[in-house]
Chain A
Amino acid sequence: MKNIANPFLIVAALLAALMHPSAQADCAGGSLIDVKKSYASAKSFDAQGKQLEAFNAYLGAQEYICETNPYEVEAATRAAALALKLAPAEAQRGNLDDAFRIYEHGGHYAKADEVLMMLIRAAPDSPPAFEKARSHFENRATPAFKANDAVRLKITGAYQVNVKHVADVQAMPAAGVARALKREAVEFNDAYLRETVQVIQNRTDSVTDMAATQRSMSTFAAYKQKWPDDLLKQSRATLGTLRQWGSVTQEAALRNTVEQEYARRLEHHIDALMKLYGGAPDLLENAIDYVHMLQLDAGVSKARVLKIRALALKLGDEAQAKRRFILAADYFDVAGDDAKRQAARDQLNKSAMAQVQPALDAMQKQAAQIQAQYSDPAKVQALREQAEAMHKSFEQTRAQQKDSRSAAALEAELGL
């Protein structure tokens, strides 16, 4: 039997190839049909006054295709014109990212550079921003830039990289490192740490000593007012930034300085927190966080952390011995000793109940008395007036009595 399907398949394949002339094996570009559609859309939007939509569609019409793009020049020309209207408006609204994008794709490269520098100057402590700027200007210097953007450069005019921009970008890591070091020195603040320890150490465990509780609360309120932020958290964030600068800079000397200073500060902070500020369990927890930032080998890091946990355990035992149960529980929490932490909390509850019980007993007794007395409305009235009268007796003298008649006179009148 003859196979009659094959000739049809061959014809279909040929037709498909004819309908998609851009589908060539060695070309990854778009199709003429697509850019044609984009251009038509752009013209339509343009006619309707929809400038941003038109601009974006003109960009689509400039797409690289595997043959000469017949729409590229016209689309680029119109996009360049629209960019000069759209980008300043975005910049004025504070949308610098959009302004940059529009200038850049509109072929106004010098203006795009200006906006990029505005963005960079607004983020002087951002290593990622630096990397973006460095990459941007490196690309500007490559032959590919001139080749790929030849059409747009021809429309918008000659372009030269502003050397001052490049210099400013290149100076960012050193300046960023200097600022980070200065800022971090302030954030790891001895006064803050000292007062943190004081607040924690002065915290009362008593639930019945209202004066001590009030003092603790006042002290804590003043402390939070003076130090509203977690400075050690900020310190770690800044050290993280410092390390990022070290990784993005191309200056070896700066990179070495950063690595040394990063490690030195972490070691200093761990040491200080353990030796000077161990009075606050939370500060020992922070010491552990700093150890993790050293990014040591797992075994070494674990040993360092265990050393801190051992210190917390020792201080917890001492606090427990002094019946500072809240403090002890916090230390045991840092030490990772759940059993001891629970035991301290149980002791705390027991101690609290012991402190409160006499007051509860007294209240219960008083309540019983009040209830017994108040069970009779007549007695209620009488006792209230009796109590009020007794109180009043301390404030008023008998001379204030308005009724001049004596009890004896009334007695006689009543015949009692």
Chain B
Amino acid sequence: MVRIFRALAIAFTTLAAPMARGATLPAPTVEYSADRVIESEMGNFEGKVYSAKDKERIEMAMKGMSTVTITRRDKQLGWMLMPSHRMYQTLDLARAQKQSGGAPGDEVQIDIVAQETVEGFASTKYKMLMKDGSAGGFIWITEQGIAVKMDMLSKSEGKKTRITMTLKNLKIGPRDASVFELPSGYSPMPSMAGMNGFGTR
């Protein structure tokens, strides 16, 4: 199960930093927002995504409790927000990348396989395979570099898990810059003595 998420994570990361061998995954060239639907054998999950150059905001809600992740690659940091508690945790992207080892693209083979229309958008279909054969999938990216759909598979200990992600109600255009900022009135999560570092600050 972990691997499928790893594959998804690599896909997301590769989108952000296109360093794959074979083909490269383009990064978004426009600002957009969309409803994001993740489908898996465990159920479907809906959320909202906002994207701008080097900035991303993902909102998820479960059982009435929402979480928001704002990633600011331009600042090499991110914020995990817990709106119900009006608290946040800062993520140090640079340190996290350093700790997670080499570039994710090193582990992935990426190839263009088709041109298809997904959710009304002309898209390029990429095939991604983990070089160790543990995971792979397809990703559809629009002309503007928006990953409008992913269909990923993971194999682990004989179990195969499939998960797809689709963007619906995709709206291209400038987003309100404030959605990528740490909202006022939030307090940092209390940090424990000696626990600083490890990607947080």
Known: A368-B192, A371-B195, A385-B8. A395 touches B43 (CB 8 A): yes
CA distance A391 to B66 in the complex (A): 13
User: Contacts A374-B80, A402-B44; is A388 near B62 (CB within 8 Å)?
Assistant: yes
Question: Which residues of chain A are near B63, meaning CB under 8 Å?
Answer: 391, 395
In the complex, A299 has a CB within 8 A of chain B: no
> Is B9 interfacial (CB-CB < 8 Å)?
yes
Closest CB-CB distance, A386 to chain B, in whole Å?
5
Among A380, A393, A407, contact of B69 (Cβ-Cβ < 8 Å): A380
Interface string of B154-168 (1 = CB under 8 A from A): 010000111010000
Give chain A interface residues in 370-399, CB to chain B under 8 Å. Answer: 370-372, 374-386, 388-393, 395-398
CA distance A17 to B93 in the complex (A): 103
Q: Give the contacting residue for A376; candidates B62, B127, B138, B199; CB below 8 A.
A: B199
When the two chains form the complex, which single residue of A367, A377, A381, A403 contacts B195, counting CB atoms closer than 8 Å? A367
- Flag if B9 contacts A382 (CB, 8 Å): yes
Residues facing A in B127-160 (CB within 8 A) are 127, 129, 133, 136-138, 151, 153, 155, 160
* Contact in complex: A388, B40 (CB < 8 Å): no
CA distance A285 to B76 in the complex (A): 63
Complex partner residue of B62 from A372, A392, A416, CB under 8 angstroms: A392
B-side contacts of A398, CB under 8 Å: 41
Alpha-carbon separation in the docked complex, A375 to B196 (Å)? 11
Instruction: Verify if A406 is at the interface (C-beta below 8 Å from B).
Output: yes
Q: Say whether A225 faces chain B, with CB atoms less than 8 Å apart.
A: no
Q: Which A residues lie within 8 Å of B10 (CB)? A: 378
B153 touches A407 (CB 8 A): yes
> Which of B25-33, B96-104, B115-123, B178-186 contacts its partner?
B96-104
Q: Does B24 contact A (CB under 8 A)?
A: no
Complex Cα–Cα for A407 and B163 (A) = 9
Question: Which residue in A368, A401, A405, A410 is a CB contact (below 8 Å) of B44?
Answer: A401
| A contact face: mostly helix, strand, loop, or mixed | helix
Q: Are B153 and A411 in contact (CB under 8 A)?
A: yes
Residues in B74-113 with C-beta less than 8 Å from chain A: 78, 80, 89, 91-93, 95-97, 99-100, 104
Contact status B45-A376, CB under 8 Å? no
A388 touching B80 by the CB < 8 A rule? no
B residues less than 8 Å from A158 (CB atoms): none
Task: Please tell me if the beta carbons of B91 and A384 are within 8 angstroms of each other in the complex.
Answer: no
- Asked if A414 is at the interface (CB within 8 A of a chain B CB), the reply is yes
Contact residue among A370, A385, A406, A413 (Cβ-Cβ distance under 8 Å from B38): A385
Query: How far apart are the CA atoms of A367 and B189 in the complex, in Å?
Result: 9
Partner of A411, one of B91, B160, B199: B160
A269 to chain B, nearest CB (A): 50
Cβ B136 vs Cβ A378 within 8 A: no
B95 touches A375 (CB 8 A): yes
Chain B residues contacting A386 (CB-CB under 8 Å) are 1-2, 5
Number of A-B contacts (CB under 8 A): 141
- Whether A250 is near chain B, meaning CB under 8 Å from some CB there, is no
Contacts A382-B9, A414-B129 given: A402-B91 contact, CB under 8 Å?
no
User: CB distance A372 to B9 under 8 Å?
Assistant: no
Q: Does A400 contact B (CB under 8 A)?
A: yes
**With A376-B199, A382-B5, A388-B62: A403-B69 Cβ-Cβ less than 8 Å:** no
The reply to whether the CB of A364 lies closer than 8 angstroms to some CB of chain B is: yes
CB contacts (< 8 Å) of A393 on chain B: these are 42-43
Given known contacts A378-B10, A389-B38, A414-B153, A396 and B5 CB-to-CB distance under 8 angstroms: no
A408 at the binding interface (Cβ < 8 Å)? yes
Bound CA span A384–B36, Å: 14
Instruction: Check: B58 CB closer than 8 A to any chain A CB.
Output: yes
B162 touches A375 (CB 8 A): no
Contact code string B172-201 (vs A, CB < 8 Å = 1, else 0): 000000000000000001111001001110
Whether A410 touches B199, Cβ cut-off 8 Å, given contacts A374-B91, A377-B96, A398-B41, is: no
Q: Which residues of A contact B129 (CB under 8 A)?
A: 414-416
Roughly how many angstroms separate A377 CA and B200 CA in the complex, as a whole number? 11
Q: Judge whether A407 and B160 touch: CB under 8 Å.
A: yes
Beta-carbon contacts under 8 Å, A107-121 to B: none
Is the pair A379, B9 in contact by a Cβ cutoff of 8 Å?
Answer: yes
Q: A395-B43, A403-B39, A410-B162 are in contact. Are A375 and B80 (CB under 8 A)?
A: no
Residues of B within 8 A of A (CB): 1-2, 5-6, 8-10, 12-13, 38-45, 58, 60, 62-63, 67, 69, 71, 78, 80, 89, 91-93, 95-97, 99-100, 104, 127, 129, 133, 136-138, 151, 153, 155, 160-162, 164, 189-192, 195, 198-200
9 A-B pairs with CB atoms under 8 Å apart are A371-B199, A377-B91, A389-B40, A390-B42, A392-B43, A402-B39, A405-B162, A406-B162, A411-B153
User: Nearest 3 pairs between A and B by C-beta?
Assistant: A375-B199, A396-B43, A382-B5
